[in-house]
Structure 1
Amino acid sequence: MCGIAGFFGQPPNGAAAVLADMIGAVRHRGPDASGIHIKETAGLAHARLSIIDIASGQQPMRTADDELSITFNGEIFNYVELKTELERHGHIFRTASDTEVILHAYRQWDVDCVSRFNGDFAFALHDARQRRLFASRDRMGVRPFFFTRQGRCIYFASEIKALLTVPGITAEIDPIALDQIFTFWCPLAPRTGFKGIEELEPGHRLIAESDRLVCEPYWRLTYPRSGEEEEDRRSEPEIREELRALLLDATELRLRSDVPVGAYLSGGLDSSIITAAVKHIRSDRLRTFSVTFDNAEFDETAFQNEMVAALGTAHSAVATTPADIGALFPQVIKAAERPILRTAPAPLHRLSALVRDEHFKVVLTGEGADELFAGYDIFKEAKIRRFIAAQPQSSRRPLLLRKLYPYLPRLAGQSQTYLESFFGARPGDETDPLFSHLPRFRNTASAKMFFSGALKAELGGYDALADLRDRLPADFPRWHPLSQAQYLEAGLLLPGYILSSQGDRAAMANAVEGRFPFLDHRVVEFAARIPPRFKMRALREKHILRDAFQDLLPKTIANRIKQPYRAPDAPSFSGPDAPAWVSDTLATDRVRDAGLFEPRAVEKLMTKCNSGRPLGFKDNAALVGIVSTQLWHDMFTKQAAQPPARKIA
């Protein structure tokens, strides 16, 4: 895992200095070593986090004939098998690194090499003979890759802050991206928060030559047409057995490392399965790490301790209070490089700092299971809402709404009338392809009432929901309703927020690499073919996954109802323990100068927060969104980026 940066095209004046500044901005991703390489019209830079082939895996790496060079972030987990195959084709290797495998795979299979990689990766490869830059990103979007064009030159990097060190490249807020964030929690790729700066989409590759730039998919997340042959027709026990074998293999592949590998342990089903899988594969004592809270609404300590006792792991935890979140939040936004509507990345930022301080660089986590196996309450919610809509006159069906979100006390305490109004379908919703997510999108978007008149005018009636509908795959209407809902989670929120602001950025801020066995593309493709009835049995989420691994888990964990990872929102920025920067950031003149929100409305919201009354979803999302947007504006657009001190090892 590392930081990458570079350019392709007509080289700028002082190219070496430009590369040094770019890679210096992301040295936190790779503090172990750094380097640059310039050849003809390409410049590559690298900040290394040494995990595989520590002795000889330095980058940028070149082939012996100096025709190919690469800067690579991430891991190719099947590099051992690929290396053996390439050696049979006559390739000779000088290192034991997965980086060199990419170079030889490209030479053997050209740009189609990425289809053979099982990994989490973002890389840029310069082919001097063909005068081509070839870049690619992993299928699920675990590792980031951003790029922008200036004149006849393309600049790219792991993080946007590296691009902003290039003379002439500035951060200008994209109002449409901001509207998308305040609807979906993230921009719709390739859009980022800044005009003119793009994100290479998950499962895509970029090919740049002197006269063209192409971004194209090499893989797409897809599901079978409902009831058709692509769906797995085997018995549930047969599917369950293969799922178990596949996930164990994916976990074993992600244990390949020349440094120790630990695991995050939340106390939920997903991280518990991964941790138990590691113990099943390896007998040595595993190091586990977790977050705890002083508020029972968020804390999962009891379940964490139960798994630690069951598996005998060596465990460390970091306690997190609202004050801790408030103090750390500016660093979280600096790492995320975009506004966020939840504080959840902050405790994970603290957790990765604990992992770093314990001298670990790699952790396995359970991300992806909820998206692939229908674990979130939003899937149950959509099923119940469809059930109610089928018989709108029924008085009994709406009572099922009380089974939703038991971990949200304010919602659970609402009247039946309120719940039916909150979750109820509007005319035409049943035929809307976004049916499963409409309540979430609409409730999140209500925070846009705080947008300033100038921002609303600039948006000019832009409709984020219509934009998303236009981007859906052609086969989307033919998928099962559960598959449609899963696609919106796995194809949008997962790469756009969970693997980004809450994943890569939170971990790599402290030079920690997260690995995700559930996101092995073989597991993803296999899970997509599993019949929906095996994923959700009645309202039992992740049915087949639970049964596949129940023998490795305590019964209380195997049967535990999903409690999503959450963190305190409004209390982190209000009350007597609120950090001083909050009042400065939300001062009326600061809000007015930024021009993104109505100052008077923000004042009223803060008064409500400071009253001590608990806030609902809408106000919490609005507060965190406003706070993070103001911080983001101040960090990236208000102040000129200061180039970091140059240090090339």
Structure 2
Amino acid sequence: MMGALRHRGPDGSGWYLDDEVALGHTRLSIIDVRGGTQPMAGEDEHVWVTFNGEIFNYVELRDELRARGHRFRTASDTEVIVHAWEEWDTGCFARFNGQWAIALWDRRTRRLVLSRDRFGIHPLHYAQIGRRVVFASEVKALFCDPAVPRELDPDGVDELLTFWSPAAPQTLFTGVRQVVPGTCLIFDEAGVHTHEYWHPTFPDRGAEESQDLRENAERLRDAVAEATRLRFRRSDVPVGAYLSGGIDSAVTAATIAATAETDVHTFSLRFADAEFDEGPHQQLMHERLGTTHRELVVSGRDIADGLPQAVWQAETAFLRSAPVPMMLLSQLVRAEGYKVVVTGEGADEVLAGYDIFREAKVRAFIARDPDSPMRRRAIELLYPWMRRSPTQVPAFAQSFFGSDVDEADPAVSHRPRWRSTAGIKPMLHPSRRTEREQAAASRLLDTMPAGASRWDPLSRAQWLEMRTLLSGYLLSTQGDRMLMANSVEGRFPFLDHHVFALAAQFPARQKILGLDEKHLLKRAFSDLVPREIVQRPKQPYRVPDASSFFGDRPPEWMTEDVSPRAVEDAGIWNPRAVELLIEKCRRVQGHGMGNTDSMRLMAVLTSQLLHRMFIREWRAPAPDPPGPVTCFDRRSAERTAGIEKGTHHE
């Protein structure tokens, strides 16, 4: 299992054993490089922890714990977790400001605790096999245990083809679950218990509507700046920053540059296809800041060649090729000697930057006055970056903006996206077709907080986005997995829970002023970010999908993985439907494909790769955990595997 995770921690490894528990760890050393070896215990060795991530307020917590009588042997944030658990039990997680996947073994109470950060930045999977539980950051480590089944879960596939990714605790694999963000699981002799220490919440509709816009912008600036400085400074290795060309990464990079005492290194992703390239805005920003800048230009061929590795790292199918360039960018970051980058991810969810939020506002406006002459103009204002705007196809625009407009529906904002994504499902193999059109949405809505009915529509939409696309896709498939593929940690100031708590209190009309998304953020940082970026229309991160796979020379792996035989063997898709889709793509070389066809193609390609790698041809990675190994054996046998009882070996 440790060998399967060596890409997540190439700097060292360690394990702890007693009669009931085995804890393993592969380390990416960032804080207390010399002393932060894991698994780690306190001075009495009653509590052991293995931990992936960062506790950014560990300095303040350590001071508080020392004042309460705790003694520390290291300068690491890991040891703070041990003592915080000893002091506050499950209450410690609400005190952490950070991002984490934690496994903690309390020998005194014989409890195993699995905890995940508030937004699900770091992954944490587990499987229960009888009275055993196995857990790991990634599913491939679980599959090293032959008792864990390797098959696709129908509910997981259904959620993938609705939300773009399964929503925790669901995964794409039968018997494999993931810890829900903001919770911890406690395993003891009585079974498994769930403790929720945090969930995103919003004020009742109409509350604080009198808030001052200028004052809120100042408060937001202070909170984002502090969260960014904290994530840049709390590291014993150099930290870089991403520059995408949009305002979010511009804000974080500008904040870092304004206070950094050394050169700031920034990294950008560009595309050979000008339609997707944001190079001019990236250039403008790094010149404004005077950073040492590196950029990577990605072609369609790069995307096609990199897709198998991205699927292996993501451990899921996906509906866009967008993860592949992110994986290639993290490769550049690592090659330049960086283990940590600060990014602008999370700003769109926290401050309402996505088109889906503005679309919901326009749809509500149209529903109230369907005959308004402003209707077409409102739709046009939504997509200034899109070559094929919905206004060019009136029938589609009418269908998209004129349906699913029941404001009493808690998911009114997301129904069009879910309906569009579900357009992939008719391609499923007949054996996988079910009458479950609303099952995924129903399961999700059952988890919505009871008080959500009193939130304004934007707040409910933000909650849905955080529970689905943010955690399952953006922070995992496109985020952590593509960063850690090259042993790089991402840090996300906009997902500091203090930033979220502040932003959640802002009125909806201040987050989206008219149709100006993230208005407060633009106002707050207008002096640090060039006007060309602040006033730039929102352009989402887009990547050439279908066209990447149908040029003069399709990638070799496609010939085998989407052959009729391979499709039939996997049993996921209707082979004839796949054949027709591939023929259509070849005919136009992947250009001009509609949104649904593009998603269909990526779903087929990635799921076929997933089936081959994880089910049909599964091979456990070589059992060679990286770096120097630290071993703690506390089993009752006098000697086990050549290691003396009670000894510590490095």
Classify the TM-score, shorter chain. Answer: over 0.9
Structure 2 segments unaligned to the other structure (5+ residues): 630-650
Which residue does the alignment assign to 1:29?
A: 8
Partners in 2 of 1:378 and 1:303 — Cα distance? 24
Which residue does the alignment assign to 2:456?
A: 480
- Compute the TM-score of the two structures, normalised by the length of structure 1: 0.94
Q: Aligned with 1:435: secondary structure?
A: coil
Counterpart code for 1:424: G
Which residue does the alignment assign to 1:555?
A: 531
Q: Aligned with 1:289: secondary structure?
A: strand
Which residue does the alignment assign to 1:9?
A: none
Which residue does the alignment assign to 1:92?
A: 71
Q: Is the 8 A contact 1:247 1:517 kept in 2?
A: yes
Which residue of the other structure, out of 307, 328, 336, is the alignment partner of 1:358?
A: 336
Counterpart code for 2:19: E
Deviation at 1:423, TM superposition (A): 2.6
Counterpart code for 2:451: D
Partners in 2 of 1:145 and 1:396 — Cα distance? 48
Q: Is the 8 A contact 2:330 2:482 kept in 1?
A: yes
1:319 aligns with 2:307: no
Q: Aligned with 1:74: secondary structure?
A: strand
Partners in 1 of 2:262 and 2:391 — Cα distance? 46
Which residue does the alignment assign to 2:286?
A: 308
Partners in 1 of 2:315 and 2:625 — Cα distance? 23
Per-residue CA distance 1:141-196 (angstroms, 9 max, x = gap): 10111111112111110001000001311211101110110111011210101111
Deviation at 1:465, TM superposition (A): 2.5
Trace 1:70-469 onto structure 2 (pairs within 5 A): 70-228=49-207, 231=208, 233-255=210-232, 256-411=234-389, 414-426=392-404, 429-457=406-434, 463-469=439-445
Deviation at 1:637, TM superposition (A): 1.4
Partners in 1 of 2:351 and 2:246 — Cα distance? 14
Gap change, CA 1:449 and 1:187, over 3 Å in 2: same
Counterpart code for 2:227: A
Per-residue CA distance 1:560-615 (angstroms, 9 max, x = gap): 11111111110122232320111211101111111111111111111111112410
Counterpart code for 1:103: V
Partners in 2 of 1:518 and 1:396 — Cα distance? 34
Which residue does the alignment assign to 1:7?
A: none
Q: Is the 8 A contact 1:51 1:258 kept in 2?
A: yes
Alignment: residue pair count? 624
Deviation at 1:461, TM superposition (A): 6.0
Which residue does the alignment assign to 1:8?
A: none
Counterpart code for 2:215: E
Partners in 1 of 2:52 and 2:209 — Cα distance? 35
1:536 aligns with 2:536: no
Gap change, CA 1:365 and 1:158, over 3 Å in 2: same
Q: Aligned with 2:48: secondary structure?
A: strand
Partners in 2 of 1:552 and 1:626 — Cα distance? 44
Partners in 2 of 1:211 and 1:161 — Cα distance? 28
Segment drifting more, 305-314 vs 248-257: 248-257
Counterpart code for 1:55: R
Q: Aligned with 1:123: secondary structure?
A: strand
Counterpart code for 2:51: F
1:595 aligns with 2:571: yes
Deviation at 1:134, TM superposition (A): 1.7
Which residue does the alignment assign to 1:499?
A: 475
Q: What value does the CA root-mean-square deviation take over the aligned residues?
A: 1.5
Q: Is the 8 A contact 2:167 2:467 kept in 1?
A: no
Partners in 2 of 1:396 and 1:530 — Cα distance? 27
Per-residue CA distance 1:496-541 (angstroms, 9 max, x = gap): 1000000000000000000000000000111111111111110111
Deviation at 1:462, TM superposition (A): 6.1
Trace 1:604-619 onto structure 2 (pairs within 5 A): 604-612=580-588, 613-619=591-597
Which residue of the other structure, out of 20, 24, 40, is the alignment partner of 1:41?
A: 20
Counterpart code for 2:413: S
Q: Is the 8 A contact 1:68 1:127 kept in 2?
A: yes
Deviation at 1:473, TM superposition (A): 1.9
Per-residue CA distance 1:469-488 (angstroms, 9 max, x = gap): 32322122211111111111
Deviation at 1:208, TM superposition (A): 1.0
Q: Aligned with 1:29: secondary structure?
A: coil
Deviation at 1:646, TM superposition (A): 3.1
Deviation at 1:418, TM superposition (A): 3.1
Partners in 2 of 1:39 and 1:232 — Cα distance? 57
Q: Aligned with 1:25: secondary structure?
A: helix
Which residue of the other structure, out of 519, 530, 555, is the alignment partner of 1:579?
A: 555
Per-residue CA distance 1:190-214 (angstroms, 9 max, x = gap): 0101111110000001111122211
Deviation at 1:421, TM superposition (A): 2.4
Q: Aligned with 2:525: secondary structure?
A: helix
Partners in 2 of 1:398 and 1:136 — Cα distance? 48
Partners in 2 of 1:403 and 1:577 — Cα distance? 39
Counterpart code for 2:449: P
Partners in 2 of 1:410 and 1:607 — Cα distance? 23
Which residue does the alignment assign to 1:54?
A: 33
Segment drifting more, 208-217 vs 493-502: 208-217
Deviation at 1:460, TM superposition (A): 6.0
Q: Is the 8 A contact 1:410 1:616 kept in 2?
A: no
Segment drifting more, 357-366 vs 632-641: 632-641
Partners in 2 of 1:168 and 1:380 — Cα distance? 47
Partners in 1 of 2:134 and 2:217 — Cα distance? 46
Gap change, CA 1:242 and 1:394, over 3 Å in 2: closer
Partners in 2 of 1:73 and 1:192 — Cα distance? 20
Structure 1 segments unaligned to the other structure (5+ residues): 1-21
Q: Aligned with 2:49: secondary structure?
A: strand
Which residue does the alignment assign to 1:637?
A: 615
Q: Aligned with 1:589: secondary structure?
A: helix
Identity, % of aligned pairs? 48
Q: Aligned with 2:544: secondary structure?
A: coil
- Compute the TM-score of the two structures, normalised by the length of structure 2: 0.94
Partners in 1 of 2:126 and 2:345 — Cα distance? 26
Which residue does the alignment assign to 1:3?
A: none
Q: Aligned with 2:432: secondary structure?
A: helix
User: Could you say which structure has the greater relative contact order, defined with CA pairs below 8 angstroms and 6 or more residues apart?
Assistant: 2
Partners in 2 of 1:28 and 1:105 — Cα distance? 29
Q: Aligned with 1:436: secondary structure?
A: coil
Which residue does the alignment assign to 2:45?
A: 66
Deviation at 1:493, TM superposition (A): 0.9
Q: Is the 8 A contact 2:385 2:537 kept in 1?
A: no
Partners in 2 of 1:178 and 1:380 — Cα distance? 28
Partners in 1 of 2:63 and 2:443 — Cα distance? 46
